[in-house]
Chain A
Amino acid sequence: MIELLNVTKRFEQKTVLHHLSARFEPGTVNMIIGSSGSGKSVLMKILVGLFSPDGGKVVYGTSDFFDLDLEGKTEIRKQIGMLFQNSALFDSLNVEQNVLFPLQMFSKLTTRQQMERVNHCLERVGLAGTNKLHTSQLSGGMRKRVGIARAIALEPKYLFCDEPNSGLDPLTSIKIDELIREITLESGITTIVNSHDMNSVMEIGDHICFLYQGKMLWTGSKGHIMDTDCQELNDFVFATAFLKQIRKQSNGHTA
């Protein structure tokens, strides 16, 4: 479980996050949504400890992350897997070496066990047999999959995904979404996904937090997102002409 308690972040004079509080439960996919510039990425960086908040707490289990010493933080970080927007694969390593890297760095497995784990992770993301490919030979979707394989290599308790669908075609996006959801449920991971893709939200989101200008204006489940009174969320959800049309038809039908 991860809990945000009254988190505030400022850059110089500008407050980009205003007193955010939320709770993310294990075995659920938690979506942080909002338009560009709403503070999603800053919040994600605070959650994983890359930025420290100016106020408030980020609690992992029972520990306030920013109160921990370096060793404590490292221990929690070993339980974190992260999929980056651009995958952030290590350019100098091939697919196998990328997934192997966290295992070699931290696990106490034998070399053979490590390789078995690498092959299992690659198989799990549908990339069995791609071990020796260089990262420059991968498509956008494959890079994301390798990123996921690397993120789950150490069997994390927490999985963070920053814009997992950016730059992907709709079909590949759905596959990546399904993969994130399956992995979350299989291992009871606490997953937090940063996205502005409403397809993803409706596909895999169990718990949704809507950020608007650094404020958490709405939290709830996807079942309630369509009939919310929050105007800013409505504007965000029904931003496309296609969805506006659906809502119009739906309202007409109801009337």
Chain B
Amino acid sequence: MFFFYHLGRYLLLLRRLFKKPENKLLYTRELIRQMYSIGVGSIGIVTIIAVFSGAVTTVQTAYQLIASWISKSVIGAIVSDSSLLELGPTITSLVLAGKIGSSIASEIGTMRVTEQIDALEIMGINAPGYLIGPKILAALLTIPLLIVLSISLCTAGGMVVGELTGIVPYKLFVEGARSSFQTYNLFFSMTKAITFSFLISSISAYQGYFVEGGSLEVGKASTQAVVYSSVAILVADYVLAQLLL
């Protein structure tokens, strides 16, 4: 019952996004501001996570491939495929759920408890459309790009560590990565990226929009946004894998 109450309210909130903007210029300006905040603001953390994920995957794959008859190019294949299928989209999205999700929920939640959302509504502005719409759209436009960056850096990180530590020469790594690459995997990865972007931004916005109380509740909403977004990502990850692979 509790789940369906929130699902219904979440869907009704999303429906309110599809109203004509009062002023397209201001909405566009807000979209650009959000794209900068979500996209550019997350490049640093995504870079660190991706490079180290790739590096660790290379070391651990090499550790498990003890048979001498297995070509070391397999390490390149495993690292690049893991980056494309899971490390890039899923791990990056889980990290972004923490960073972007809490930011969206606390920003909107603070606006709610300080009556800024009431002020928008009294002015005749569609508050969900102006506050949530640009955030979801910005997430849909920038998070897939961050995930492409993450996949690239993850693979590169694995390759560089393989070369520097002597685990696998870079030529063999590239050979393995190339041999295992399938275009369909890229499609699957981007499908996940778009789905996760929507889940992170919309769930977090929902948590912030319906905050009641004060700063304590805003903090709770922020935490819930991260938890629910992360759970939704993992569930969607499984469902997409089951459906598309």
Q: Would you call A105 and B22 a contact (CB within 8 A)?
A: yes
Min Cβ gap B138→A in Å is: 15
Q: A105-B23, A105-B26 are in contact. Are A48 and B110 (CB under 8 A)?
A: no
Interface check A19, CB cutoff 8 A: no
Q: Would you call B124 and A86 a contact (CB within 8 A)?
A: no
Q: Would you call B123 and A84 a contact (CB within 8 A)?
A: no
Q: A88-B115, A91-B110, A91-B116 are in contact. Are A82 and B26 (CB under 8 A)?
A: no
Q: Would you call B122 and A106 a contact (CB within 8 A)?
A: no
Q: Would you call B125 and A105 a contact (CB within 8 A)?
A: yes
Q: Would you call A88 and B121 a contact (CB within 8 A)?
A: no
Please tell me the number of chain B residues within 8 Å of chain A, measured between CB atoms.
17
Q: Would you call A105 and B123 a contact (CB within 8 A)?
A: yes
- CB closest chain-A residue, reference B116: A88
Contact of A88 among B22, B23, B114 (CB under 8 A): B114
Q: Would you call B119 and A82 a contact (CB within 8 A)?
A: yes
- Chain A neighbourhood of B110, CB < 8 A: 91
> How distant is the Cα of A74 from the Cα of B21 in the complex, in angstroms?
12
Q: Would you call B118 and A86 a contact (CB within 8 A)?
A: no
> How distant is the Cα of A147 from the Cα of B23 in the complex, in angstroms?
22
8 Å CB interface, B47-74 against A:
none
Q: A91-B110, A91-B116 are in contact. Are A49 and B122 (CB under 8 A)?
A: yes
- Chain B neighbourhood of A75, CB < 8 A: 124
* B interface with A by C-beta (< 8 Å): 19, 22-23, 25-26, 110-111, 114-116, 118-119, 121-125
* A interface with B by C-beta (< 8 Å): 48-50, 70, 73-78, 80, 82, 84-86, 88-91, 102, 104-106, 160
Q: Which 9 A-B pairs rank lowest in CB-CB distance, beginning with the nearest?
A: A77-B124, A88-B115, A74-B124, A88-B119, A84-B115, A105-B23, A82-B122, A78-B124, A48-B122
